[in-house]
Structure 1
Amino acid sequence: MPPSSERLYRGAMVAVLAGTLCAPLTAAAPPAALPGAVAAGSPSPSVPGPDVRPLSPAVARQLDTAVQRVMHEAHVPGVTVGIWTPGQGSYVRSFGVADKADGRPMAPDLFMRIGSETKTFTVTALLQLVAQGKAGLDDPIGRYVEGVPNGDEITLRQLAGMRSGLFNYSDDDAFFKALTSDPRRPFTPRELLDYAFKHPVQFPPGERFSYSNTNLILLGLVVEKQSGQHLGDYIEQHVLDPAGMKDTLLPQGSAFPVPHAQGYTDQTADGKTAATAGWNPSWGWAAGAMISTLDDLHTWAPTVATGRFPDGSRMVSPALQKERLITPATPIPGAGYGLGIFDVQGWIGHNGSLPGYESLTIYLPETKTSLVVLLNTDIDHDREEPSTLFGRAITQIVSPRHVFDLPAQPAAR
């Protein structure tokens, strides 16, 4: 996840990794299809027991208690959790309220903003175009977008893997002021890039990992240029429709289907908590503006981790999926990041966070277990993101050999 104003747009490996933007990760193929991913987050062999515990009534009661404890401690208004393991049952629960104003309960069917999980869809679109010969992972970004610092050296692969060295626009002071002074204003991709490009590059391309939303804005422009379609239209036609994900979209402006939860954030001009459902997420665009539901993210978790649609057809070619799941180490122990996807202690996927909402969509290939968490606040608790608190508490119970943990970096603001 990201640091500082990144709180505004936390992405996947928050904190220590580098920086981030919207809170931002996600039928089944055999574990052999995931060689690269499994390597980065291998669990400690000292923890005994099965990879995943069956979701029995007793385990469900433990989960109820753990989720409600995190809610109480972190002051989370509402949360929905889904866990599914083939042959071992499922767990789907909502707790708390979707809207504090009217007390409407949280529910599994609500639309939610998913932040940086958007990155998994944008990179999927890119990989499909690479398979079609319309782009190359080792092409320089300067071939597709003009005016990029080091554009003749930074490759599409380095952008997707967060190793470009480009400054993260959501960490720019002027951007933060512009967004928080008028959260309903629209931003264009070029405006976002202008905030980033006024800063010097942070390091030579490929030198190290640094989470930057700027990378995904550039990849979104590549998808549009090489496909001839708007990014949202391409993703809908070539990713969402084949996956049967009818309740997922990249919205136009502040559009938000109903029913949806109200979101709550303290990332405001005056630092006071505000409701955010009407805020315009265009500033996240290809890096974090998408909307989805629990059921659709249940579909997405194994789809993005295996590269196969639910009907068994290929979403991403085997060779490119293998490359995607090569997850080099990051500064966070047990966490690796590949091409728009992470591996945290064996869990493959992404998280997301933008003002008012957080999400987590991950998949454990050994047992084909999917975990989705959706909540309506991004306010940190003891310098940790609530989505990570839920992910840790849940996996300590259901997968003690694979405990999800992404320590967040203290916000600068």
Structure 2
Amino acid sequence: MGRYRPSHVRRSRLAVVPAVAAALLAALCAGTAPDLAVASARQELDPATVRKLDAAITKIMDEADIPGLNVGLWIPRRGTYEKSFGVADKQNGTPMKSDLYTRIGSITKTFTITGLLQLVDAGEIALDDPISRYVAGVPGGDVITLRQLAGMRSGLFNYTEDKAWLAQLRADPHREYPPRRLLDIAFSHRPNFAPGTKWQYSNTNTVLLGMVIEKVSGRSLGDYLEEHIFTPLKLNDTSLPDDSAIPDPHAHGYTDFTPSGDVADATNWNPSWAWAAGGVISDLDDLHAWAPALADGRLLTKETQAERLKTRSVGVPGASYGLGILDFSGWLGHNGELPGYESIAAQLPAEDASLVVLVNTDIDYEGKSLSSLIGNAVTSIVTPDHVWPVPPAQPSPTPSTPSNGGGPGAAAAR
């Protein structure tokens, strides 16, 4: 377990958080005396809890062969646990650090749907508008509403479950996929059910909503999110790029989503296929700021946030889904996954707690997602009345294809 000792990281960028939590942002120092300059500005969780968390995380990392991860848990009345484990680059052994950029997968959906809901507040769209008003060629588009798309109840086929496309992506992960091409893949399949009658996770839904934002705002989705979400919250290290580049310094991401099943470095693979559903880049600080903002709806009106939080069961105990937001046992947020990376960003309003988990591999352990295993271990120790669940094992996992071989809990987790 020695190779996974957490590294000491000084915060280089201050996240925007409620004032009551600002003093908790200093990094933890593992195994050495604390830096006197920051010791008075933070309150760590009690030593016994820290030891339990260290042991649980390093055990999972050893068993699942996780290269590296960042984890942060902030509870104003109890303390902070913020550590980096393992390596960011297996080739040269660069240690993981909390200020590294990373791809966050489907946490992107929380940003995209927030942008959509801002347009609702501005009176430019309505949740019960049909998608056909904004995007042509959608099967059943006259009766599928923006609300159903945001809540994963449209019935539209998830393009990331198309087997021919998956083989194509494995063979050429650097290929560019415009949003309309993704819709063509989805619409070559019949809808799975009538709109509003069931819940099923589908990246197609969020791609459509990204196109709605662009049509109504007249801006690219990346520029819209920058102006209306990232900048107002001072999420200075969060972006939706229009290419495959990831800023420096960053964590390398490792995946076995290859034709041979061999492990590859997916850091610079083109994420255009994920776009509005999974293309955002961020870091630990920014996600720490985003989790409470998402949960309390500070960028939305109270009425619209209330609509967002009308979650409905996804068929797994303790799990429900609202408008681009997941409720797992009281934790409000989302998981993310795409080749090389997994993530969690969530807020527990009952304890004003924030949780962020960033893992630099998506290679499941015994069919289970790594971020969920870490999230489950952390919450089982610190918030046992609100435990982040581990979705059912998936026999044949694929990137951002949560319903492929998994139940609704697995779907919500990606």
* Shared fold (TM-score, shorter chain, > 0.5): yes
Q: Are 1:318 and 2:308 matched, yes or no?
A: no
Matched with 1:22 is: none
Deviation at 1:407, TM superposition (A): 0.9
Q: Could you say what secondary structure the match of 1:359 adopts?
A: strand
User: 303, 316, 321: which one pairs with 2:293?
Assistant: 303
Q: Are 1:393 and 2:377 matched, yes or no?
A: yes
User: 1:255-334, aligned counterparts within 5 Å?
Assistant: 255-308=245-298, 315-334=299-318
Deviation at 1:300, TM superposition (A): 0.3
Mapped to 2, the partners of 1:408 and 1:105 lie a distance apart of 31
User: 1:132-151, aligned counterparts within 5 Å?
Assistant: 132-151=122-141
Mapped to 2, the partners of 1:260 and 1:179 lie a distance apart of 23
Mapped to 2, the partners of 1:113 and 1:220 lie a distance apart of 18
Matched with 1:372 is: 356
Aligned 8 A contact 2:68 2:86 in 1: yes
Aligned length: 359
The answer for unaligned runs of 5 or more in structure 1 is: 1-26, 30-53, 309-314
Mapped to 1, the partners of 2:104 and 2:113 lie a distance apart of 16
Q: Could you say what secondary structure the match of 2:232 adopts?
A: helix
Q: Are 1:360 and 2:344 matched, yes or no?
A: yes
Q: Letter of the 2:376 partner, please give it.
A: R
Mapped to 2, the partners of 1:340 and 1:168 lie a distance apart of 16
Aligned 8 A contact 1:28 1:368 in 2: no
Q: Could you say what secondary structure the match of 2:231 adopts?
A: helix
Aligned 8 A contact 2:238 2:281 in 1: yes
State the TM-score, normalized to the length of structure 1: 0.85
Mapped to 1, the partners of 2:259 and 2:147 lie a distance apart of 36
Aligned 8 A contact 2:366 2:393 in 1: no
Matched with 1:108 is: 98
User: 381, 400, 409: which one pairs with 2:365?
Assistant: 381
Matched with 2:404 is: none
Matched with 2:401 is: none
Aligned 8 A contact 1:174 1:195 in 2: no
Q: Are 1:58 and 2:42 matched, yes or no?
A: no
Q: Letter of the 1:355 partner, please give it.
A: P
Q: Letter of the 1:172 partner, please give it.
A: D
User: 216, 227, 232: which one pairs with 1:237?
Assistant: 227
Aligned 8 A contact 1:28 1:306 in 2: no
Q: Could you say what secondary structure the match of 2:347 adopts?
A: strand
Mapped to 2, the partners of 1:350 and 1:409 lie a distance apart of 18
Matched with 1:339 is: 323
Matched with 1:404 is: 388
Matched with 1:216 is: 206
Matched with 1:178 is: 168
The structure having more radius of gyration, on CA atoms, is 2
Closer, same or farther: CA 71–396 of 1 in aligned 2, 3 Å: same
Mapped to 2, the partners of 1:171 and 1:267 lie a distance apart of 14
Deviation string 1:257-286 (CA, Å, 9 cap, x unpaired) is: 011111111111121111100100010000
Matched with 1:153 is: 143
Deviation at 1:409, TM superposition (A): 5.0
Mapped to 2, the partners of 1:97 and 1:190 lie a distance apart of 38
Aligned 8 A contact 1:385 1:408 in 2: no
Q: Could you say what secondary structure the match of 1:192 adopts?
A: helix
Matched with 1:98 is: 88
Mapped to 1, the partners of 2:393 and 2:208 lie a distance apart of 25
Mapped to 1, the partners of 2:61 and 2:329 lie a distance apart of 24
Mapped to 2, the partners of 1:406 and 1:207 lie a distance apart of 26
Q: Letter of the 1:124 partner, please give it.
A: T
Mapped to 1, the partners of 2:392 and 2:220 lie a distance apart of 33
User: 58, 61, 75: which one pairs with 1:68?
Assistant: 58
Q: Letter of the 1:259 partner, please give it.
A: P
Give the fraction of aligned pairs with identical amino acids, expressed as a percent.
Answer: 56
| RCO higher in structure (CA 8 A, sep ≥6) | 1
Deviation at 1:87, TM superposition (A): 3.1
Mapped to 2, the partners of 1:377 and 1:390 lie a distance apart of 13
Aligned 8 A contact 2:325 2:333 in 1: yes
Q: Could you say what secondary structure the match of 1:282 adopts?
A: coil
Matched with 1:200 is: 190
Matched with 1:348 is: 332
Where has structure 1 moved over 6 Å in runs of 4 or more? none
Deviation string 1:156-213 (CA, Å, 9 cap, x unpaired) is: 0000000000000000012112211111111100011111000000000011110000
Deviation string 1:306-330 (CA, Å, 9 cap, x unpaired) is: 011xxxxxx0110000110111111
User: 216, 226, 229: which one pairs with 1:226?
Assistant: 216
Q: Could you say what secondary structure the match of 1:206 adopts?
A: coil
User: 1:14-29, aligned counterparts within 5 Å?
Assistant: none
Deviation at 1:241, TM superposition (A): 0.4
Deviation string 1:202-241 (CA, Å, 9 cap, x unpaired) is: 0000111100000000000000001110000000000010
Matched with 2:407 is: none
Q: Letter of the 1:277 partner, please give it.
A: T
Q: Could you say what secondary structure the match of 1:283 adopts?
A: coil
Q: Could you say what secondary structure the match of 1:243 adopts?
A: coil
User: 179, 197, 202: which one pairs with 1:189?
Assistant: 179
Relative to structure 2, which stretch is displaced further, 264-273 or 384-393?
264-273
Mapped to 1, the partners of 2:252 and 2:238 lie a distance apart of 17
Mapped to 1, the partners of 2:364 and 2:202 lie a distance apart of 20
Mapped to 1, the partners of 2:142 and 2:18 lie a distance apart of 38
State the TM-score, normalized to the length of structure 2: 0.85
Aligned 8 A contact 2:367 2:396 in 1: no
Mapped to 2, the partners of 1:411 and 1:112 lie a distance apart of 26
Mapped to 2, the partners of 1:408 and 1:272 lie a distance apart of 24
Q: Could you say what secondary structure the match of 2:272 adopts?
A: helix
Mapped to 2, the partners of 1:412 and 1:134 lie a distance apart of 42
